[in-house]
Amino acid sequence: MAAHVLLFTPFASRQRPSDALRTCFLQRFPKIPEEPDMSNPLHRFHIPGVSRIPRRARYLAMLAQVAIALTLLAACTPPQPLPPTGKGPSPEATTTGTVTSQPSATATSSASPTSSPTATAQATATTPASSGTLPPGSALPSEATCAARVQRSAWEPRPDNTAANNRVPTAAQIAGIGPWGPATGFDPKADSLRKQMTGNFTGTTDEILQWVACKWGIDPNIVRAEAVVESYWHQSQLGDWTSDKSYCPPGTWNGSGCYQSYGILQIKWYYFQEAWPMSRDDTAFNAEYVYGVLRACYEGWETYLSSGTPLPGYPRYHAGDIWGCIGRWYSGWWYTQGAVDYINKVKAALAQQTWRTPGF
């Protein structure tokens, strides 16, 4: 009976095998009747004269039939595409350019993820938590270098992102992003990062996240994991409903309220007004902007964080703490309780590699 369950498990979630698969299977294994009597255990393996075979030999024959059937089933089943394995392009240091970052003011908060379509496939590889993050002061790869390092794949678990994945900001929109300096809580050195921001990349959702991770020198799986927590990889994600019109982006007030946060990494308009509407409309810009801010934090250039008091047992703000900067994206401060809770969510998604699980 256990063998029977194993044999027919591949079809458990379907009403009936496809005609092509059924035909292939029957052509390769003609001894199986077209419509076996599944109430008779012997018919499941169709062994002629089986009633005259001793019990031990009968079991051995049944096991042999199962092995043959599973082999033929595998031969008749077309392979499924897999998402990219590994971490994506390694953000190795190059001789090109200096670090770049994004403006930041205070907190942006995460929203509950929307439901997502089933991915075409899953994989199971795991990756160390931050093996690809370049230390502060590293020279970062150029955009062109990172585009060449992206592991291209047809895998797209979020086809609803297609339009946003293929939109990039205009030159005028990029020019409208103001300087980063003391007025916005940054060391003036952070403006070198702001000047490198373009949002100039198109591809699948995972390819965009790879490109962003490479450009800012962050482990790609950290970027993937935070995008899981913020939006489940949906650029259309809306978050932080408010009934206060003063917190609403232009054109979003519906008479009773609006959403404040937008996109794959949930940029809150009130604190990052210069990023609108690209934060809503362009996937690459949304992710690049957020990790530009986090790179500035990681470099030690978000000077306002030095005035914050972390929870007992946590260090004060300093360069080189990527997890502290991840928590800052949620809470706006350094190792507050909200930041620590958020960090733990991202770490959990990273450990599980949620983007590679069934149904993602």
Note if the pTM is more than 0.75.
Answer: no
Alpha carbons 84 and 167: distance in angstroms, whole number: 23
Instruction: Provide CB contacts within 8 A for 40, sequence distance 6+.
Output: none
Per the CB < 8 A criterion, the answer to whether 150 and 211 are in contact is yes
- Please give the DSSP secondary-structure letter assigned to residue 49: T
CB atoms within 10 A of CB 75: 10
**C-alpha distances out from residue 337 to 293, 309, 311, 333, 341, Å:** 21, 11, 7, 10, 6
DSSP 318-349: -TT-HHHHHHHHHHSSSS-HHHHHHHHHHHHH
Per the CB < 8 A criterion, the answer to whether 279 and 162 are in contact is no
Output b/e per residue, 297-317; b: 16+ Cβ within 10 A.
bbbbbbbbbeebebeeeeeeb
Structural domain boundaries of the chain? 2-7+16-76, 143-356
Give me the CATH code for the 143-356 domain, please: 1.10.530
Rounded average pLDDT per 10-residue block, the chain, 360 residues? 32 34 44 45 44 58 62 48 39 34 36 37 36 91 96 97 98 96 97 97 98 98 98 98 98 98 98 97 98 98 97 98 98 98 98 97
